[in-house]
Amino acid sequence: MIQRVSTAGLSDIMLRSALSLQSRMAEKQVASASGLVSTTYGGLGAKAGTVLSLESVVSRTQAWSDNTQVAVDRAQSMYSALGSMVDQLSSLRATISAARSDVSGSIDYNSLGAGVLDDLAQMMNLQMDGRYLFSGSRTDTAPVETSKLSVPTVPSTADTAYFQGDNMLASVRVSADQSIQYGVSAGDGGFEKALRSANLVANLTTSPMDDDALTEAYDLATEALEALLAYQGQMSVQSKRLENAQTAQDDMMALLKDRITGLTAVDTAEVTVELSQYESTLQASYSAIGTMFKLSLTDYL
């Protein structure tokens, strides 16, 4: 009892000190294992608000980047589809040229024209992730319905009855103050001329051969070909703008993440040294406490 009374105050102080030291050492061990100053925002102190703000910007920029990537994919798909339409029109012009010099009448030009008309419609009705890309804002509706086309007369007039979409093009937000519009609508003149040219061949009178219809179909195919190539050029420019915007977004996120890391990451070498110091100090504290509890008043009598 004499020993407990004589050492109670000092031992209590040393125990509290050792427990506090043990707690700080445990925090450093967690920091060393996680690589973070703290696993909670509260442990970041005054830096917590800055980290939260930066993480919010990263999250918003990541959403923009994800949406921009979707737009890039759509733009590239539309560019590819336009290229396929160009190939079809080049083939159609070759068919029309052959019809002008075919005296045997052995080729079914009506079937060839109908086939090109159907192929063009399929390309214009391109879908991606359930969205019709050439429908403008009416993405749930196929833009081209060839059954609504009339049998053309010569000379023909523009027939847009096929078009079921609208001319409101898609856009994507790439930053807080910028959106990029992209795409092309199947209601534009180049698409109409392409379909009308194929429709003329599909309904061509071949006995005798209707030269006026062939001439008009050829001219329309040429005009449509030029228009579709121009649309491709536009899509190429739009796609490049989108890719540049996404690069800027990704660069921004990399910078922000580096800054967050600078605020939240620990200096591994420093923490290792501190852990070693804490361990030595804690061992010394335990040794002193152990020695104290072995003391007895009789040792000094």
Residue 276 has pLDDT above 70, yes or no: no
Structure confidence at residue 136 as a pLDDT band (50, 70, 90): very high
Asked if the model's pLDDT at residue 150 lies above 90, the reply is yes
pLDDT at 86: 98
- Tell me, what DSSP letter sits at residue 144? B
CA distances from 194 to 34, 94, 151, 253, 266 (A): 62, 14, 15, 44, 64
**pLDDT more than 90, % of the chain:** 65
194 in Cβ contact with 223 (< 8 Å): no
The larger pLDDT score, comparing residue 6 to residue 137, is at: 137
Please state, in angstroms and as integers, the Cα–Cα distance from residue 155 to each residue in 19, 90, 192, 218, 225, following that order: 98, 22, 15, 13, 20
* 208 confidence band (pLDDT: 50, 70, 90): confident
129 has a pLDDT exceeding 50 = yes
- Alpha-carbon 197 to chain mean position: 37
Strand, helix or coil at 110? helix
Q: Which helix (H) or strand (E) holds 174?
A: strand 170-175
pLDDT above 70 as % of the chain: 74
pLDDT higher than threshold 80 for residue 190 = yes
Q: What is the pLDDT of residue 214?
A: 94
Give residue 3's pLDDT band: very low, low, confident or very high (50, 70, 90).
Answer: very low
pLDDT average, residue stretch 159-179: 96
Q: What is the pLDDT of residue 140?
A: 97
Contact assessment for residue 203 and residue 151, using Cβ atoms and an 8 Å cutoff: yes
258-277: average pLDDT: 69
pLDDT of residue 300: 46
Query: Is residue 264 over pLDDT 70?
Result: yes
Q: What one-character-per-residue DSSP string does 232-245 give? A: HHHHHHHHHHHHHH
Q: How far is CA 244 from CA 193, 219, 250, in A?
A: 33, 38, 10
- The tokens for 200 are 């003329």
The pLDDT value recorded for residue 19 is 63
pLDDT at 79 over 50: yes
Using pLDDT thresholds of 50, 70 and 90, give the confidence band for residue 43: confident
Average of per-residue pLDDT across 157-161: 97
Pick from 14-23, 44-53, 248-257, 264-273 the range whose average pLDDT is largest.
Answer: 248-257
Q: Is the pLDDT assigned to residue 47 strictly greater than 90?
A: no
> What CA–CA distance (Å, rounded) separates 22 from 5?
26
**9: which 2 tokens?**
């105050």
With CA atoms as reference, report the closest residue to 112 among 96, 100, 90. 96
Q: How far apart are CA 182 and CA 210, in angstroms?
A: 41
Bigger pLDDT: 181 vs 22: 181
pLDDT over threshold 60, residue 178: yes
Q: For residues 53 and 48, give the distance between their C-alpha atoms in angstroms, rounded to a whole number.
A: 9
Mean pLDDT of 141-150: 97
> Which residues lie closer than 8 Å to 226 by C-beta, 6 or more apart?
190
Position 1 scores a pLDDT of 43
Cα separation, 264 vs 155, whole angstroms: 74
The mean predicted confidence, pLDDT, of the chain is 85
